[in-house]
Structure 1
Amino acid sequence: MIDFLLNGQPRHCEASPETSVLELLRESLGQTGTKEGCASGDCGACTVAIGETGPDGRVRYHSANACITPAHQLHGRQLVTVEGLADGERLHPAQAAMVECHGSQCGFCTPGIVMSLFTLHEEQRPEDDKVPAPLTPQRLEAALGGNLCRCTGYRPIRDAALTMGEHPERRPLWLDAAAPTPAAPQTDARFAQPTTLAELVELRRRHPDARLVAGATDLWLETTQRLERFERLIDVTRVAELNTIEETTLDDGRPGWWIGAAVTYSRLEPLLDEHYEPFAHLLHRLGSAQVRNRGTLGGNVANASPIGDTPPVLLALASRLWLAGPEGERELPLEDFFLDYKQTALGEGESIRAIFLPRPEAGRTLKVWKLSKRREDDISAVLGAFSWKLEDGILREVRLAFGGMAATPKRAAAAEAALEGQAPSAAAFQAARLALARDFQPMSDVRGSAHYRRLSAANLLERLRLVLLRDHRVQSSSHTDREVMLHAYAH
């Protein structure tokens, strides 16, 4: 059974493990304001807001795609839909601004857009003595990047977002009410929601074939696109040990952080903003705000997709994994984790507990470039992540990792060897580009042909050479001030 608040009202519902929030709303609860568009988390028509009570007692809301959010994950949470925003006849500022700015025509996408504006408005509300961050174009783009509209164009919607603060602050009082704490975790025989690592390990021991679910941003496509049914699910989002970010030093002396496998991209973003700007910039192109609010670093790694965005970056940074299972806990380098297409080194009953993100090393540079058919909310065709040191004009500790070039995310060992110990000359990079043929034999699919991928990977190495020329002035005769690529499309 699922106990939660829907627009301030207690709900007690029963649902099968594969039921989505969207299905629960429309088919069981009769709340049809939330629409189904793509059923894959791309269009945003089904956007809702989920509220969680923090340690300070304040309820904070994040946007989510209802079509790919498991209904059982509402347990002990607040769910807000477009039906709940108005206070009687008085519209919420997000609604009033959309009306004033003529931001809706056919109305099908409008409920999702309003809910994204609602969460943006909530972020803008003052919190104690903290002044909210200004609503920059970047923040506005991030908030609305997961909502598509086929009728109006986006200027009136943007205008509505920018003028929400001009409307009276009318919001139902229940928005600030914490959801009642459930008496116990869910005990559904087919959907388990452990709260400790020990409970997770025991469930994995008893049910090694059960599917794990965290953000569900990929897993739930099996239900919406392939009509799969799950015999048993174990939800890891409430496991305390998987939700921490802990600063540490490895036995080899490397400082860094253990990122819990259930930590979402949104929670990880401030750390990356401070220490790894290229990695943080990549997150802006990893799905939408709705996806980043729910997707996890651990899920992206465990999914073992050859086109996952974060594994190549983690490979370039020499990350490690912390695994836990019935036989105990162990660590291994990330590059030893990926065995073949969708096959990993996880033993029976094992789970990823955390991913090690090393602290930036003095003298080491990271660059990350993603190629996809559209800039926002798209899957990679090719992604390159490059890390190196330049000491006295010589490349050292070169790590070149690619996604989309093999059955797994993979380092380009031959290309690395061609550059290691060399000056970043045209000849050295020409040798590295040729070496890519020994590293990869990519496949053709809907995102790109094998030829396109080989050419793109080689061009990313050439771009790396040009960046080195610009950033390090290794050849005084080069045109180092020329922009290599438009910044908006470079990451």
Structure 2
Amino acid sequence: MIDFLLNGQPRHFEATPDTSVLELLRESLGQTGTKEGCASGDCGACTVAIGETGPDGQVRYHSANACITPAHQLHGRQLVTVEGLAEGETLHPAQAAMVECHGSQCGFCTPGIVMSLFTLHEQQQRSPSPLSPQRLEAALGGNLCRCTGYRPIRDAALSMEEHPHTRPLWLDAAAPKPTEAKDAPFAQPETLAQLVEIRSRHPDARPVAGATDLWLEVTQRLSRFERLVDVTRVAELNTIEEATLDDGRSGWWVGAAVTYARLEPLLEEHYEPFAHLLHRLGSAQVRNRGTLGGNVANASPIGDTPPVLLALGSRLWLAGPQGERELPLEDFFIDYKKTALGEGEVIRAIFLPRPDPARHLKVWKLSKRREDDISAVLGAFTWRIEDAVMRDVRLAFGGMAGIPKRASHAEAALEGKPPEAAAFQAARLALAEDFQPMSDVRGSAHYREISAANLLERLRLVIAQQDTTDREVMLHAYAH
């Protein structure tokens, strides 16, 4: 059973575990303003706003793709759709600005764009700040429009504050605290102990966090899930805690249910290249819901974050019926979609080491589109220079094997060598011993081999330039 507020009104509905928010809206509630475009979280036509009550009692909204959001995750939350924005004949500033700036033609994508503007407007109301081009792209990068062109939509975003707005009181109303039905087919444990206990009783139940990948099995492969375990409300999985490992390294244990959006401030402060990658990891709607733990547990060879975590030497904290344990991330990936997770085990947290000022990190992603696209090849490289030679070289790649993987032979070719052309030539040749990539729709094996070698050449150029200039030898994701 799902209890939530829809545009301020209580709703009480029963749904199967694999029902999406979009299905619930259109088929059960008759709210057809939210459109289905791609059914894969790419186009943004189905964007809605989900409100969660924080520890301070304030309701904060984030944009989400309704097509790949489990309906049961609305339990105890606010849902705002395009139907709820206007008050009588008075349009919300996001709607009024779109009308005045002629930001809509056919109108199919417009509800999703308006809802992305709504969440942006909410953020502006709570924390006013300049709407930079980068921030606008981040807010609207997950909304595609074929007919209007983006300039009038951008103009609408910039002019929202010019339109009067009386904030409806229901936007700040907290949804009733949810009650958990025992042994529900869509279980929502609140503690790690409850999660482990449910996983013990139902080892075949699929864990779900942001569902940004899992739900494609429903929308694209027409799979059906009889039982799911939602990990997003488990308290222990939602923390970011400073810690020191037994080997002396300090850093942070990032809970497996922490979203990219929550993680971004930490990365911006300590790992700018990693934070920069998040700009290209899906859209705002995806980053609001996708989790670091889910990206690792998914074990996709083209997941964006595992190569970076491998390069940084991350560790995993696992929990299950037999207790808790740690292991290096590189021991977690065994084969394609096969991991070291035991029966009933879950990822509790991922260790992100505190950066060493002497070490450098570079992350480069190759994909067909600049944003909201899957990697063809992703390279993540860390190293330090000591006595004019390279030390502690770690080269990790995605898209080059059945698992995210370090290039051990290429690393050995660079370790202890000056960062000169001869050493990097040897490293590029050694890649053939590390990888035999496959061909698929994102790129041929030959393309991947050449691309990985070119990323190492880019790394050589970066190191060569560091003594003379800070200018990067690549185009920034935001071309302004």
TM range (shorter): over 0.9
Partner of 1:485: 474
Aligned pair partner of 2:174 in 171, 174, 178: 178
Does 2:401 align with 1:406? yes
The residue type equivalent to 2:108 in the other structure is: F
Does 2:98 align with 1:103? no
Cα distance, 1:134 vs. partner?
1.7
> Contact (CA 8 Å) 1:92, 1:171: kept in 2 or not?
no
The residue type equivalent to 1:79 in the other structure is: L
Aligned pair partner of 2:462 in 437, 445, 467: 467
Pairing of 1:179-328 with structure 2 (within 5 A): 179-182=175-178, 184-187=179-182, 189-328=184-323
Partner of 1:435: 430
1:166-195: per-residue Cα shift (whole Å, max 9, x none)? 00023322111111112x224463111100
Partner Cα distance (2:376, 2:364) in 1: 11
Q: Cα–Cα, structure 1 residues 196 and 387, in superposed 2: closer, same or farther, change >3 Å?
A: same
Cα distance, 1:51 vs. partner?
0.2
Partner Cα distance (2:259, 2:330) in 1: 22
Partner of 1:142: 138
Partner of 1:476: none
> Contact (CA 8 Å) 1:86, 1:172: kept in 2 or not?
no
Does 2:368 align with 1:373? yes
> Contact (CA 8 Å) 2:279, 2:477: kept in 1 or not?
no
Normalising by structure 1, report the TM-score: 0.96
Q: Secondary structure at the match of 1:50?
A: strand
Q: Cα–Cα, structure 1 residues 483 and 360, in superposed 2: closer, same or farther, change >3 Å?
A: closer
Partner Cα distance (1:293, 1:439) in 2: 35
Does 2:157 align with 1:157? no
Partner Cα distance (2:172, 2:471) in 1: 51
1:274-301: per-residue Cα shift (whole Å, max 9, x none)? 0000000000000000000000000000
Pairing of 1:78-117 with structure 2 (within 5 A): 78-117=78-117
Cα distance, 1:232 vs. partner?
0.9
Does 2:358 align with 1:363? yes
Q: Secondary structure at the match of 1:472?
A: coil
Q: Secondary structure at the match of 1:400?
A: strand
Q: Secondary structure at the match of 1:212?
A: strand
Partner Cα distance (1:400, 1:356) in 2: 19
Partner of 1:67: 67
Cα distance, 1:56 vs. partner?
1.2
* Matched residue count: 479
Partner Cα distance (1:55, 1:409) in 2: 37
Partner of 2:27: 27
Cα distance, 1:481 vs. partner?
7.7
Partner of 2:76: 76
1:325-349: per-residue Cα shift (whole Å, max 9, x none)? 0000000000000000000000011
Cα distance, 1:87 vs. partner?
1.1
> Contact (CA 8 Å) 2:280, 2:477: kept in 1 or not?
no
> Contact (CA 8 Å) 1:49, 1:80: kept in 2 or not?
yes
> Contact (CA 8 Å) 1:2, 1:13: kept in 2 or not?
yes
> Contact (CA 8 Å) 1:51, 1:61: kept in 2 or not?
yes
1:182-222: per-residue Cα shift (whole Å, max 9, x none)? 2x224463111100000000011111111000000000000
> Contact (CA 8 Å) 1:243, 1:261: kept in 2 or not?
yes
The residue type equivalent to 2:55 in the other structure is: P
Partner Cα distance (1:275, 1:391) in 2: 22
Partner of 1:333: 328
- Structure 2: tracts of 5 or more residues without a match: none
Identity %: 86
Partner Cα distance (2:151, 2:18) in 1: 37
Cα distance, 1:483 vs. partner?
5.3
Q: Secondary structure at the match of 2:350?
A: strand
Cα distance, 1:362 vs. partner?
2.3
1:83-107: per-residue Cα shift (whole Å, max 9, x none)? 0001111110000000000001111
Does 2:26 align with 1:8? no
Cα distance, 1:489 vs. partner?
7.5
Q: Spell out structure 1 runs of 4+ moving beyond 6 A.
A: none
